[in-house]
Amino acid sequence: MEHLLATLWVYRRCLGRAASLFGRTLPAAAAVALYAAALGVVQRLALPLGMAGGLVVTLAACALASSYLYLVGQALRLGRVNLVADGRRGLTAHLAEVVNLGFLLWVASFAVRLLAAQGGGPALRLGFAVVVFVVGNVLPELVYQRPAGAAALVAESYRFVVSEGLAWFPPTLAAAAAGYLVVAAAGRLPLPYPVAELLRLALWGGAVHAVMLFRGCLFAELSATGARGRLFRYRARR
């Protein structure tokens, strides 16, 4: 029972810190919407280029993902972000990790498609999706907190899920579901199109950033302490 109370105490600490950081790092929330819009523009411009255009879009998506992960890392480390300076620096800060992980995922998915063509396709694809979701769930946090090669990141993600999965998945999935429900509820408001679209983008940006801050705080806490460490700190707080 005390282990459960210690874990709940960690959740509360991480939620409080994430809420505090959210108010001080709103530019990073705006970056989510801005980057999504920018990627949409790149997709439209690259459409006539065929395969070359697809490569351009992929690299742009990886660079924007790298930039946002860098912003989250800055938010956790410094408690503030500079959207222009940090955003620009972040375009290449974690680009290698994101590209390498994307390539590894592409190779694995290609192999799964080949195997699925031999039979049992739907079940195999579903199993692969579940494995990717579970084993790779903390890869975003590892990229900006413990950058390494793609294989090392996947191995570390697997080790974390095995050791801390029971403490990690319930609150992070609940946070993601809460963010989705807020955005979905706002989408039902009877607002004119331009206002509704702007509100949707703003809420998506805020929801994604809030969840990512909570995930980042929780990952740092769980990976640094372990179950015994959490229990010790919980007892020592009194």
Rounded distance, CA 4 to CA 11, Å? 11
In which residue are the tokens 């990229």 written?
A: 143
pLDDT tens digits, one per residue of 40-82: 999 999 888 888 888 999 999 999 999 999 999 999 999 999 9
Residue 34 has pLDDT above 80, yes or no: yes
Poorest-pLDDT segment among 36-45, 59-68, 115-124, 140-149:
115-124
CA 139 to chain centre: 8
No. of H helices and E strands in the chain?
Answer: 9, 0
CA 197 to chain centre: 23
Q: In which domain, by residue range, is 26 found?
A: 2-236
Q: What is the pLDDT of residue 35?
A: 95
Q: What is the pLDDT of residue 115?
A: 84
Banded model confidence at residue 100, pLDDT cuts 50, 70, 90? very high
Instruction: Please state at what angle helix 150-187 crosses helix 121-135, rounded to 10 degrees.
Output: 100
Task: Assess contact for 160 and 145: CB atoms under 8 A.
Answer: no
Q: What is the pLDDT of residue 225?
A: 78
Task: Assess contact for 42 and 58: CB atoms under 8 A.
Answer: no
| Total domains present in the chain | 1
155 closest CA partner among 140, 168, 136? 136
Residue 216 has pLDDT above 70, yes or no: yes
> Distances in Å between the alpha carbon of 131 and those of 105, 135, 137, 189?
11, 6, 9, 37
